[in-house]
Structures are given as C-alpha cells and as structure tokens.
Copies of this chain bind each other. A is one copy, B any other.
Amino acid sequence: MARETPLIQDVADYCLQKGFRFTEPRQFVLDIIARSKKPIGAYEVLEKLGKKLKNPKPPTAYRAIEFLSEHGFIHRIESLNAYIICQSDHLHKGSQFMICDQCGTVLETHLCDLPEPLVKKTRDAHFHLTRWNVELHGICQTCYKPV
C-alpha cells in the first residue's frame, strides 16, 4: 500500500524500528481516525473500514484500535466511547482533552507533567502513578455565544 501521509510514514517507521507489522487493518484504521475531525466510535471506524477491506468484523477494528492506542498514536476519549488521533506527537504518559459538549470537537493539549496539586495528592496517598487522563468538558470558542 502506498504511504499517503507523513503520519502514516511516521507510524510505518515506528513499526519498522520496533519490529511490529504495519498491516492493512492498522494502516486503514489509522487513516480513518486521522481524517476524522472529531472523535470517532469503533463502529463508525468499522463501517468506513468496510470501504477498504471486504466485510470486516468488529474484532478487526478493535484490534487495530488497541494496537494504535497502546503505542500512543490514538487516544480513547473515555467519556465519549470514541477515538481520536494523537495531537501531541504520541508517547506521553498523560492526556488532557477539551471536549466541546455542543459541537463535539476535541482539542488535545499536552502537559509534560501532571500538575503539582495532583502530584501532591498521589504522593500523600502513596499512589504509584502510571498514566493519567483528563477530560475537560465545556463549550469551545466557536460555539460560545455570550449573552
């Protein structure tokens, strides 16, 4: 398959480097999620995947999603049961998203470290942090209409 975008190339390189196979389902699912402006559900991915593969079933979509997610190329938005391309150059322990509850747009922001007040909470509780996920809900600039 022809490599279509820089992102596809990046993931191809990553897989080559790490010895993973960048198979058709993985490429197509990455492309589908990357092209989506908003978080996209697994079954919508599956439906679009059907234009590229012959009659794919849920596990095909879910496995590719799992692979891409494990390696940080996409993220799951937990409060939406949906997936979005990493907008912060993958491989980070924490994610933070601003989710517009009106138009559905999601903006990922990157903080290298968890903010100190939260770190303090984990220290106080002797909690050994491995990853974090922050989902901020509200109204985006475009949707916001002051009264």
Contact = CB atoms under 8 A, between A and B. Distances in A.
Interface string A104-135: 00010101001111100110011111111111
A5 interface: no
B128 A139 contact: yes
A117 B137 CA distance: 16
A134 B137 contact: no
- Tell me the number of copies of this protein: 2
A132 B129 contact: no
A94 to B, nearest CB: 9
Given A78-B78, A111-B117, A117-B115, A130 B122 contact: no
A44 to B, nearest CB: 19
A133 B134 contact: yes
Contacts of A132: 134-137
A79 interface: yes
A50 interface: no
Interface of A: 78-79, 96, 98, 100-101, 107, 109, 111, 114-118, 121-122, 125-141, 144
11 contacts: A98-B127, A115-B115, A115-B116, A118-B134, A127-B136, A127-B140, A128-B144, A131-B136, A132-B137, A133-B135, A134-B134
